[in-house]
Amino acid sequence: EVKVPSDIEIAQQAKMKPIADLAMEWGIEDEELEMYGKYKAKISLDILNRLKEKEDGKLVLVTAISPTPAGEGKSTTTVGLGQALNKIGKKAVIALREPSLGPVFGVKGGAAGGGYAQVVPMEDINLHFTGDMHAITTANNLLSAAIDNHINHGNQLNIDARQIVWKRVLDMNDRALRDVVVGLGGKANGFVRQDGFMITVASEVMAVLCLSTSLMDMKERFGRMVVAYTYEGKPVTAKDLGVHGAMTMLMKDAIKPNLVQTLENTPALVHGGPFANIAHGCNSILATRLGLKLGEYLITEAGFGADLGAEKFLNIKCRYGGLKPAAVVVVATIRALKMHGGVKKTDLASENLQALDKGFANLAKQVENIRKFGLPVMVAVNKFVSDTEAEIELLIKKCKEYGVDVALNECWGRGGEGGVDMAHTLVNLIEREESSYKPLYDMEASIPEKVNTIVREIYGGNGAVFSPKAQKEIKKLEELGLDKLPICMAKTQYSLSDNPELLGAPSGFDITVKEVRVSAGAGFIVCLTGDIMTMPGLPKVPAANNIDIDENGKITGLF
C-alpha cells in the first residue's frame, strides 16, 4: 500500500497565492481588505453594501448521514466540491466554520478539510488565526466579570446568585474547569458562588456572531442575552448590566469574515464556529452572504449529520439570514453505512455488501428529510481506500433505485480533479430542479408543537416526551414571551434517535427532552435530550503530545 502523506505534509506543500492577489481576482477592493499577514485577511462589511444590487450565487449545503466518531468528510467534501466546480469553469467560493483550539489538542484534530481538499494556511487557521476566538472569549468573560461585579456592589438588580446561567469560557479542553468556585478569599473578592467554564465555541457569543446580520444587530442580540434570574424569577440580560455595547466593541473585527484559500486557490471564507448541539453548528450568516456575492456558487457545511446540522441550517440559519438554498449534498461513506447495517467499528475495513444494503436506510431517511424542505438533493460518496469496487457499485445502484442523484467523491485523494463528476452532477441537479425551500415549522407554534414536528418528520420517532423540569421551563418561557423562537435540538449525532446505539433508520421511539433553555440573543430555544458536554476533557494521550515545532518554525503532528 502507498504511504499517504498526512494532512499537514500536504498543506505544507501548498502553492498559496498572496491573499491580496486572490482577493483582487474575485472582485474584492483594496480598501475592503484588511491583511493579517500575507495569506489571511478580513473583509470589511462595507463590501456587502457595495454589492447590494449584485445577484446572489447559488447556495449549496453539504451535510451527511449520521456519522461515526471520525467524521464522514463534510469539510473535506465542501472544500473538494469548491475546487471541483472551479475546475469545470464555475466560480465557486466556500464557507466553513473556524476551528476551535480545544479539539486540536484533544483527539479530533483540526477542522480544515483533509487530504488534497484543505484550506490553508492550515496551521494558522487551526491556531490563533485572526483572533476571533480571543475576541469571543473576552466578550463573554467581560459579561461574567460584570455579573460578579454587580453583585459585589450591592446587587441592585436583585440577581439570585443560585440562578446565574452565564458561564465563563476558555478555548481549551480542560475538564478541571467544568465546575469551579469563584469569589473565594474574603470580602474584597466579592461573594462566593459556584460557577463553571465552557469551551469558547459553546458560548452564546459565538452563536450570536454567526447569526448577526450587522454590527448593530449583534449589539441588540447581545443586549437580549439572559445571564441570570432575579429572586422574583425575572430574567436579567446583558443590557440590564450595561455591557452589551462594550462587548460589541470587542467584536468589531471578529464580525468581519476571514478570507483564506484552498490548496487549489479557491477562495474560502472561514468564519464562526458554534457548537452543533447547544448551538446551531453553522458558519456565519455574514460570510455566507458575502460568498453568495463573490461567486456563482457558495458551498457551505453544517455540523453533525443532516438530522441535526441540515435541520438547524434550514430552520434557524436560513430563516434568520434570509437565505434560500439551491441544493443539498449529503455525504455518505461506505464505512459508516456498514456500521448502520450492524458492522462493528473494528470490522469496517472488510467488504460487507449485506450490511451496506441494510445501512442504506440511514442515507435514505436523510435524503427524504431534505426533500421535506422542498430542496433538490444529491448524494456524494466519500471514497476511502478500504472501499471495494463491489461496495461502491452497490451503493451507487441503491441511490439510483431510490431516485436520488449520486456521484463518487474522490477529493480527499485527488483534490478538485477527484470531484469533477460530483460538480457536474450538482450543476445538473440545480439546473434541472427548482428549489422551493421552506422551513419545516412555523416559529409561532408552541415549543412542544415545534419539537414534535422535528421528532416526527426528521427523526422518524413517535413524538417528544418532556421531563417535569422541561415542562416547567417551557411554561416559564411562555410566560416571558420567549417561546416563539426556532428550536435548537441538542441530541446525539450518532443516531436519528436520542440513543446513540440505535443505528440505521429506527422507528417507534420517543425523544426525551430533559431540559429547555433559551438563547435569547442568538434567538433559539435549546432542547437538551441528554447530558451535553460544554467543556471537553483531554484523552489519556492527547494530540498535544505529538505536536512539535523545530528551529525553522516547521510544525509537525498537527494531524
Residues belonging to the active site: 74, 76, 97, 108, 276, 304, 384, 412
Instruction: State the minimum distance, in angstroms, from the CB of residue 196 to ligand ADP.
Output: 27
By 3-state DSSP, what share of the chain in percent is helix, strand and coil, each rounded to 5? 40, 20, 40
Q: Does 412 bind ligand ADP (CB under 6 A)?
A: yes
- Where do we find the cell 481549551? 172
Q: What is the distance between the alpha carbons of residues 132 and 109, in angstroms, rounded to a whole number?
A: 19
- Whose Cβ is closer to ligand ADP: residue 115's or residue 521's? 115
Instruction: State the minimum distance, in angstroms, from the CB of residue 410 to ligand ADP.
Output: 8
Q: What number of residues does the chain have? A: 559
324-383 residues in contact with ligand ADP (CB under 6 A) are 382-383
Cell for 30? 483594496
Cell for 240? 440590564
Q: Which residue is nearest to ligand ADP (CB)?
A: 114
Q: How far is CA 88 from the centre of its chain?
A: 28
* Side chain identity, residue 465: V
Instruction: State the minimum distance, in angstroms, from the CB of residue 375 to ligand ADP.
Output: 20
Q: Which stretch binds ligand ADP (CB under 6 A): 37-45, 63-71, 390-398, 544-552?
A: 63-71
Instruction: State the minimum distance, in angstroms, from the CB of residue 332 to ligand ADP.
Output: 11
Q: What is the distance between the alpha carbons of residues 71 and 199, in angstroms, rounded to a whole number?
A: 20
Residue 530 in 3-state DSSP? coil
- Whose Cβ is closer to ligand ADP: residue 272's or residue 523's? 272
Instruction: State the minimum distance, in angstroms, from the CB of residue 274 to ligand ADP.
Output: 15
Cell for 21? 492577489
Site string for ligand ADP, 114-153 (x = CB under 6 A): xx--------------------------------------
The contacts of residue 306 (CB under 8 Å, 6+ apart) are: 63, 64, 65, 328, 330, 366, 369, 370
Using the Cα atoms of residue 404, residue 383, residue 416 and residue 559 in order, give the sign of their dihedral: positive
- Whose Cβ is closer to ligand ADP: residue 138's or residue 277's? 277
- Whose Cβ is closer to ligand ADP: residue 115's or residue 267's? 115
Q: Which stretch binds ligand ADP (CB under 6 A): 87-95, 112-120, 367-375, 550-558?
A: 112-120
Instruction: State the minimum distance, in angstroms, from the CB of residue 362 to ligand ADP.
Output: 15
Partnered with residue 198 across adjacent β-strands are: 169
Q: Does 98 bind ligand ADP (CB under 6 A)?
A: no
Query: Is residue 332 within 8 Å of 65, Cβ to Cβ?
Result: yes
Instruction: State the minimum distance, in angstroms, from the CB of residue 315 to ligand ADP.
Output: 20
Which of 10, 111, 337, 458 forms a contact with ligand ADP (CB under 6 A)?
A: 111
Which of 70, 180, 215, 555 forms a contact with ligand ADP (CB under 6 A)?
A: 70
Which of 72, 123, 132, 307 forms a contact with ligand ADP (CB under 6 A)?
A: 72
Q: Does 300 bind ligand ADP (CB under 6 A)?
A: no
Q: What is the distance between the alpha carbons of residues 207 and 201, in angstroms, rounded to a whole number?
A: 8
494-553 residues in contact with ligand ADP (CB under 6 A) are none
Q: Which stretch binds ligand ADP (CB under 6 A): 64-72, 316-324, 359-367, 420-428?
A: 64-72
- Whose Cβ is closer to ligand ADP: residue 516's or residue 543's? 543
Q: Does 270 bind ligand ADP (CB under 6 A)?
A: no
Q: What is the distance between the alpha carbons of residues 271 and 97, in angstroms, rounded to a whole number?
A: 5
Which of 50, 239, 384, 499 forms a contact with ligand ADP (CB under 6 A)?
A: 384
Instruction: State the minimum distance, in angstroms, from the CB of residue 504 to ligand ADP.
Output: 19
- Whose Cβ is closer to ligand ADP: residue 127's or residue 249's? 127
Q: What is the distance between the alpha carbons of residues 508 and 437, in angstroms, rounded to a whole number?
A: 28
- 67: exposed, middle or buried (Cβ count in 10 Å: 0-12, 13-18, 19+): buried
Give the interface size with ligand ADP as a residue count (CB under 6 A): 18
Half-sphere exposure at residue 388, Cβ-oriented, CA atoms within 13 angstroms: 11
Cell for 213? 446580520
Q: What is the distance between the alpha carbons of residues 546 and 559, in angstroms, rounded to a whole number?
A: 9
- Whose Cβ is closer to ligand ADP: residue 9's or residue 434's? 9
For the packed helices 132-152 and 204-211, what is the interaxial angle rounded to 10 degrees?
130
- Whose Cβ is closer to ligand ADP: residue 97's or residue 450's? 97
Q: How far is CA 227 from the centre of its chain?
A: 24
Q: How far is CA 134 from the centre of its chain?
A: 18
Q: What is the distance between the alpha carbons of residues 314 and 453, in angstroms, rounded to a whole number?
A: 14
- Whose Cβ is closer to ligand ADP: residue 76's or residue 452's? 76
Nearest-5° Cα angle at 152, 147 to 154: 105
7-46 residues in contact with ligand ADP (CB under 6 A) are 7
Which of 44, 63, 66, 76 forms a contact with ligand ADP (CB under 6 A)?
A: 76
Residues of this chain that bind ligand ADP (CB under 6 A): 7, 64, 70-76, 109, 111, 113-115, 382-384, 412
